[in-house]
């Protein structure tokens, strides 16, 4: 893996953090690294094992803070913690570095296209002081690709030196393209990404912000599904959670909420029919316990439904609704055997996405924002700030957008789910 971080050049300006009111700041050196493999048994025998650049303040900066202009954009679906990130960046820029010009582009990448007519917001510490108490993003967001050249034109017209891009896989690919266009034009701009995906599926990260809040909220829905399942004879609580390609929220919510009998995720195929299929296993569970709870990630079981053949604004294939599909199939299966059963279907996706970040995510967002500003001021570009093995690191955008993080069907997390639910390891 290529883990080196692009830099706009050697620092020419002394960091103002050196004189921050007598507080001693530990400046990071470029040779401080965090190993990719943290287990001794997995370390390479070579003298130079794969490692990531350690995040943190640098003593010399690539930009003169007094003359620097920063901008922020939030893209993709809503996620808990977006306002926390905005607040953290603005506060860090103004109070720690003295960067007084910070703009927020409205409605995602659309805000960088002049013809849409969205006027950028001027962001100051006083205007963002309380936004972390609210869900969503004060900047708004949108999905879909926009013209890279037009976006760079606006950045240059506004004399933006540092551009913070908050988003998931598609958004970060756009950030990499913006950085490449800036380099092609010879523009000296730092493009720094902050990972936002409620599915927790960005590669080489311990977790993405908002995930802790999301699965904590999902646990409440698990409890509701359980209560509904016990409220009637042969009650089945069916809960659909986020997770297009990765089932982390479904797994964690099931483990934390308990009382779940089946967890279905995109990484583990299952069948409906047959002696070992989901329906037969569900019939057995109902006969034994008179109730059951099924948690399914939105991307699970797509092989069971006809392909839509269409794509959304972000270029992703539109998936079939596995929740409604299972609701109808389960109801029909019990009806065909003349077994009275009630399926209570719950889809809390937008409720979960729109809540404010919980305290744990709030702290994580603040730290991500601080490290993003440190990196940008030092001239780091085409990179992502994230956490790996408990340490904040810099990751090249090209590396983290080459795949998606997934639940390992042979790993500890999925084994914990199987032990907690008691479901068969294979539903075929």
Domain definitions of the chain by residue range: 6-208+355-400, 215-352+409-421
Judged on CB neighbours under 10 Å (0-12, 13-18, 19+), 166 is buried
To the query of whether residue 245 is one of the catalytic residues in this protein, the response is no
From the list 84, 169, 199, 201, the catalytic residue is 199
- Structural contact between residues 76 and 108, judged by C-beta atoms closer than 8 angstroms: yes
Instruction: For 128, list phi and psi in degrees, rounded to 5.
Output: -115, 10
Judged on CB neighbours under 10 Å (0-12, 13-18, 19+), 104 is buried
Q: Give the global pTM.
A: 0.93
pLDDT, tens digit only, all 428 positions of the chain: 789 999 999 999 999 998 766 567 889 999 999 998 876 556 555 567 889 999 999 999 999 999 999 999 999 999 999 999 999 999 999 999 999 999 999 999 999 999 999 999 999 999 999 999 999 999 999 998 999 999 999 999 999 999 999 999 899 999 999 999 999 999 999 999 999 989 999 999 998 999 999 999 999 999 999 999 999 999 999 999 999 999 999 999 999 988 999 999 999 999 999 999 999 999 999 999 999 999 999 999 999 999 877 888 777 788 999 999 999 999 999 999 999 999 999 999 999 999 999 999 999 999 999 999 999 999 999 999 999 999 999 999 999 998 899 999 999 999 999 999 999 999 98
Q: Radius of gyration of the chain from Cα atoms?
A: 24
pLDDT at 339: 96
- Those residues whose C-beta lies under 8 Å from the C-beta of residue 99, and which sit 6 or more positions away, are 65, 68, 69, 70, 93, 162, 377
Separation in Å, CA 58 to CA 1, 126, 394 = 25, 27, 13
The two domains 6-208+355-400 and 215-352+409-421 share their CATH topology (first three levels equal): yes
Distance CA 320, CA 301 (A): 9
Q: Which CATH number, 3.40.50.150, 3.20.20.80, 3.40.50.720, 3.40.50.450, labels domain 6-208+355-400?
A: 3.40.50.450
CATH numeric code, 215-352+409-421: 3.40.50.460
Q: Which residue has the tokens 């908050």?
A: 166
């Amino acid at each position: 893996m290529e883990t080196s971080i692009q830099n706009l050049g050697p620092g020419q300006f002394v960091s103002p953090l050196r004189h921050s009111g007598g507080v001693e700041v530990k400046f990071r050196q470029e040779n401080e690294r965090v190993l990719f493999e943290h287990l001794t048994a997995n370390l390479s025998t070579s003298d130079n094992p794969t490692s990531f650049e350690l995040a943190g303040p640098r003593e010399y900066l690539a930009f003169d803070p007094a003359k620097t202009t920063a901008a922020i954009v939030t893209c993709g679906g809503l996620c808990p913690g977006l306002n926390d990130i905005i607040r953290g960046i603005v506060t860090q820029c103004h109070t720690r570095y003295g960067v007084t010009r910070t703009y927020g582009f409205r409605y995602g990448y659309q805000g960088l296209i002049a013809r849409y007519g969205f006027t950028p917001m001027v962001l100051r510490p006083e205007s963002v002081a309380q936004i972390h108490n609210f869900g969503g993003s004060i900047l708004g967001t949108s999905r879909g690709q926009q013209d890279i050249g037009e976006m760079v034109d606006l950045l240059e017209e506004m004399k933006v030196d540092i551009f913070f891009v908050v988003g998931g896989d598609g958004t970060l690919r756009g950030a990499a393209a913006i950085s490449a266009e800036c380099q092609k034009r010879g523009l000296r701009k730092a493009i720094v990404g902050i990972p936002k995906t409620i599915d927790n599926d960005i590669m080489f990260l311990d977790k993405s912000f908002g995930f802790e809040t999301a699965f904590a909220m999902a646990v409440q829905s698990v409890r509701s599904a359980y209560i509904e399942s016990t409220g009637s004879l042969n009650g089945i609580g069916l809960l659909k959670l986020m997770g297009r390609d990765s089932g982390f929220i479904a797994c964690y919510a099931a483990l934390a909420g308990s009382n779940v009998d089946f967890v279905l995720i995109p990484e583990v195929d299952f069948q409906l029919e047959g002696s070992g299929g989901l329906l037969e296993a569900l019939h057995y569970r109902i006969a034994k316990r008179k109730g059951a709870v099924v948690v399914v990630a939105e991307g699970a079981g797509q092989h069971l439904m006809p392909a839509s053949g269409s794509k959304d604004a972000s270029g992703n294939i539109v998936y079939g609704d596995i929740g409604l599909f299972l609701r109808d199939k389960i109801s029909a299966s019990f009806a065909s055997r003349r077994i009275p059963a009630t399926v209570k279907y719950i889809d809390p996706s937008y409720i979960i996405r729109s809540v404010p970040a919980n305290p744990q995510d709030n702290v994580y967002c603040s730290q991500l924002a601080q490290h993003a500003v440190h990196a940008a001021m030092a001239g780091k570009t085409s990179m992502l700030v994230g956490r790996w093995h408990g340490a904040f690191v810099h990751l090249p955008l090209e590396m983290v957008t080459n795949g998606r993080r997934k639940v390992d069907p042979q790993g500890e997390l999925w084994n914990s789910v199987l032990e907690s639910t008691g479901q068969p390891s294979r539903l075929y």
